[in-house]
Structures are given as C-alpha cells and as structure tokens.
Amino acid sequence: MTKVTYVRLSVMMAIAALTVGTVTIGGARQGPQNAVERVAQAAPQGAVASGQLVCGTKDLDEATATAIEAYTQRVLERSSGIFLTASKDVPVYVHRIHPSAGGGNATDQQVTDQISILNAAYGGSGFSFTLTLTTDTTNDAWYTATPGTSAETAMKSALRQGGSNALNVYLNNMGGGLLGWATFPSSYASNPIDDGVVVLYSSLPGGTAVPYNLGDTGTHEVGHWLGLYHTFQGGCAVANRRSLGGDLVADTPAEKSPAFGCPVGRDTCTGKGGKFPGLDPIHNFMDYTDDSCMFEFTVGQNDRMNAQWLAYR
C-alpha cells in the first residue's frame, strides 16, 4: 500500500527531510510549544543532527516513487501544451470537526473565503474549486487527530465523499504544533479513503494562527494533493538534462532548506558557472514562509499538477 503524508508544522526553524534511498519525501512547517521535542523523540535514530529534525510520515518505497515519476514525465512529454485548454472543476467537501465542549472551528464565511483563496491561487493552473458540501461532526478524538493515527482513519472512513477528483478537507484542532497534512494523487488508487487534506481550522482566512491565517496552509496542502513537492525538496539538487532538481520541477530555483518569515534575497544554493541560478523561491506556495509572503506557482509546477491529475485523478 502506498501512502504519502505531508505534514506542515508551526515552529520557526528548519526541518530536514526524510530520505529513503534516493527518494526524499517529507518535511514540515514548524512552530511553537513543545512540537520540536515531540518530533525529535519520534525521529529515527541518527536523524537529528546539527539542530535539524526529521519530520513527516511515509511508506513510499523507492521503486514505487521512481515508477510514479517516470509515468508523470511520460504524461508531460505526450501532453505538453494542452493542459490548460480546459478547466478542471474540483468538487470540495469540507468537514468541520467540533469538540464536545462546543465551539472551536471555522465559520461558514471562513470556509467560503478559503475556497476563494484556492481559486485565486490555482486559477492559472486551470483548476477551479466548488464548495459542494460542508459537514459538521462532534468528536473529541477526531478534533485533535494527527497523521497516521486511528482517529484519522476513523474520521476519514466516516466522512470522506466523492471520487478521485473530489477534494475532501478536514478542519480540526490537530495539536502537536501541526498546521496540516495531505496525501499525493498517486496514493488514491491504493487507499482512496485516506485521500484528502487536513487543515488546522484557525489557519483559514481570518483565523487566529498568525502568521499562517490567510488561507495558504490550505493552498500549500492542496499543492501536495495535486502532486507538488516542497520547493526545498532534495536541498541543493542540480537541475540539468538528467534531473529536474529536488522538487522535480525545472523552473523552481534550488533551495537548501525551508524559508520562514519572508527573507527577501535569501539564496541558500550557490555555485560557480550558474550551477544554481535564482534566489530561493520564498514567494512560492510550496515553501514555508508566512502566508503574506506566498503568492505564486511556476509554469513548471502548473504542468506537474496537471500531469499528476491526468495520470491519477
């Protein structure tokens, strides 16, 4: 069974990615509380070094990942230039989880605003998002569910709706310093119930999770759901005729580690002869900068999302 879960945390420090063979998957957007200690305790032996932590969960083996990428590239090569000729309308099912004590989730207006944020971010990619249904459930275990737990499985098994093209968004108060997580499109066939994104309800537009309260945690996680890696995936991997770089997108500059805040002019991958052209992509939705700093996807990312959609959704 193939499952990829991306975790987004809320503490201001860089997180190392989890690497299996030559396939690098994982990472997190990190924040306050004791999240750092909890992640450190959960990390594999030897994973913590030089102040960096391994974060994220996965069981995607190297052979499967290689096959997924080979198929994606074949789709890209055969379909270049035709992706944006037709809009892809994505039905969205939003599931709000409430605690038994009452309160503690997004308003109808925040949900509507989140859909607007997604449409603004993905319009250039040919995707549009339509709110189909909002459900409300009271369940204390689901309200604080984290990735890979029985609570997550039970929540999704009970609530998920639609087919492979349907985006299911679960809003809860996950805790542990988390902002959200998502599955990849290639995982749908083997585990359709698991498909979707889980987002901290206070990260929706107008929420309290400052500086991550403008709706771009949702944008970021949907990027994973559509097949994108982080911009810092693989660190300073070289994009050349044999490789598209760490995130497998040719036009995103290489980035050694996640960026936080909005560090204009940051350039963590340098080398002679233009080996790593471009400053770090801090304005890209797939980095870890503040919501107010994020505003773009690249043409290559748009192509990748469309290829993954055509291949798996």
Catalytic residue positions, numbered: 221
> What gap in Å lies between CA 273 and CA 245, rounded to an integer?
17
**Whether 19 contacts 39, CB under 8 Å:** no
Distance CA 99, CA 72 (A): 41
Q: Report yes or no: 275 and 304 within 8 Å, Cβ to Cβ.
A: no
Which two tokens mark 98? 């409430």
Q: Say how far apart CA 183 and CA 313 lie, in whole Å.
A: 13
